[in-house]
Amino acid sequence: MPGFELFGELERKQVNDVLDNGVLMRYGFDGMRNGHWKAKALESALEKTFGVNHVQLVSSGTAAVSVALAAAGVGAGDEVIMPTFTFVASFEAIMALGAIPILVDIDETLALDPKAVEAAITPKTKAVMVVQMCGSMGHMDRLKAICDTHNLLLVEDACQAIGGTYNGKALGSIGDLGCFSFDFVKTITCGEGGAVITNNEAFYTNADHYSDHGHDHIGNDRGAEGHPFLGYNFRISELHAAVGLAQVQRLPEFIAIQRRNLNILKEALSVIPEVTLRTVPEGGEESGAFLNFFLPNLEITRKVIEGFKDGGVDACWNYYDNNWHYIRKWEHLKTLKSLFPITNEVKTGLKYLEHKTFEQSDHFIGRNISCLIKLSWTAKDVQQRAGKMVEIIKNSL
């Protein structure tokens, strides 16, 4: 991660195919395409990759979450349970529909704590959104059982976890709907792009129409297509899809590199008793996009992060003070700073954030270090990096 590190001739060929026929839009202009349909081809490839019946490409991972929720009927006043540790796009996508994000604690997996989820369910709860952060997963069997018991949607935001699996199933394919991002820093990239995946045909049809202004995509005349319901523009372009089509063919190569590098780093850190790894649920296999580990306390963690910076160990973060990925710094959400008026329903629904604390999440995020794993590293590069990390951590304890 990210896939742009290994751009090559395959990506160039796919992009040049689009430029040669001149059709950059994924819909229409059938006669000009010379048989080139990059978005359709990428959707088919992703169906095979994830083992699902349906894939709808969209313009971003954020769009994927909004489209997925809308396709399943989530909207004004509905509550969607989500984790405190994610990216701001998670609550943005929920609020774009007029729904209410209900933030709850994470556990040692760095994903939703099932006990916290169950405690947060109300008559307004419509969906539980587990975010598979940093290449791994939550306790999926327990989360799915809770959703089944309470008749709730289980939505997987697997934007950072493509290639990860749980009990042999691709992350993103376990819930009712899965969401992926193919932005510039993801394991496979389109530059910008995303996908909604599902085995539910009705959800897929809704996503297909909703993401393109409500077009029903029936017939060969785009201007004559019907619009069974309102929609918006969340389309991906053929240029972006072309890059992704090349990258998805290389996904097994990318995952193998990531996991090799992850295992080298894990083995090196295993000699330090004070270091514990993020919990991966039994039956789960990480994508290898990130290494995540815990240290004894926040003070040591901050000291190690500074040591990494001084020692040239880049792309490692403690998210406790991060502006984008953890609840502590989301003042714009807590105070509802918006360019347009927020509905009273959402305002009322988010009042809990004025005084809500998340001590359990603080306990895990404050002690966590997350390190990006690059595809461009050789095994020797990783071993040298691992040696530096071990030395810095030992000196910080």
Q: Which residues are catalytic?
A: 186
Q: Which residues contact 341 (CB under 8 A, 6 or more apart)?
A: none
Is there a single domain that holds both residue 319 and residue 378?
A: yes
End residue of a domain, out of 204, 227, 250:
250
End residue of a domain, out of 215, 250, 285:
250
Is there a single domain that holds both residue 147 and residue 105?
A: yes
| Verdict on whether the full-model pTM lies above 0.75 | yes
Is there a single domain that holds both residue 244 and residue 295?
A: no
383, 387, 392, 397 alpha-carbon torsion, rounded to 10°: 110
Give the chain's count of helices (H) and strands (E).
14, 14
- Is 68 in contact with 196 (CB distance < 8 Å)? yes
Is there a single domain that holds both residue 338 and residue 370?
A: yes
- Is 243 in contact with 11 (CB distance < 8 Å)? yes
Please report, in angstroms and rounded to a whole number, the separation of the first and last CA atoms in the chain. 30
Domain enclosing residue 165, as ranges: 3-250
Is there a single domain that holds both residue 96 and residue 245?
A: yes
Is there a single domain that holds both residue 87 and residue 199?
A: yes
End residue of a domain, out of 250, 282, 311:
250
Q: Residue 80: its pLDDT value, please? A: 99
Is there a single domain that holds both residue 292 and residue 383?
A: yes
Is there a single domain that holds both residue 265 and residue 239?
A: no
- Phi, psi at residue 360, to the nearest 5°? -65, -45
Give the max Cα distance, the chain: 69
Q: Residue 53: its pLDDT value, please? A: 98
Is there a single domain that holds both residue 175 and residue 228?
A: yes
Q: Say how far apart CA 81 and CA 116 lie, in whole Å.
A: 10
Tokens of 277: 């790894």
Residues of the chain scoring pLDDT < 70: none
Q: Residue 1: its pLDDT value, please? A: 87
Of 103, 102, 97, the residue nearest 76 (C-alpha): 97
Is there a single domain that holds both residue 36 and residue 114?
A: yes
Q: Residue 367: its pLDDT value, please? A: 98
Domain count, the chain: 2
- Is 253 in contact with 86 (CB distance < 8 Å)? no
Is there a single domain that holds both residue 246 and residue 256?
A: no
Q: Residue 182: its pLDDT value, please? A: 98
DSSP 19-72: HHHT--BSSS-GGGSTT--HHHHHHHHHHHHHT-SEEEEES-HHHHHHHHHHHT
| CATH code for the domain in which residue 215 is found | 3.40.640.10
Is there a single domain that holds both residue 305 and residue 169?
A: no
| CATH code for the domain in which residue 300 is found | 3.90.1150.10
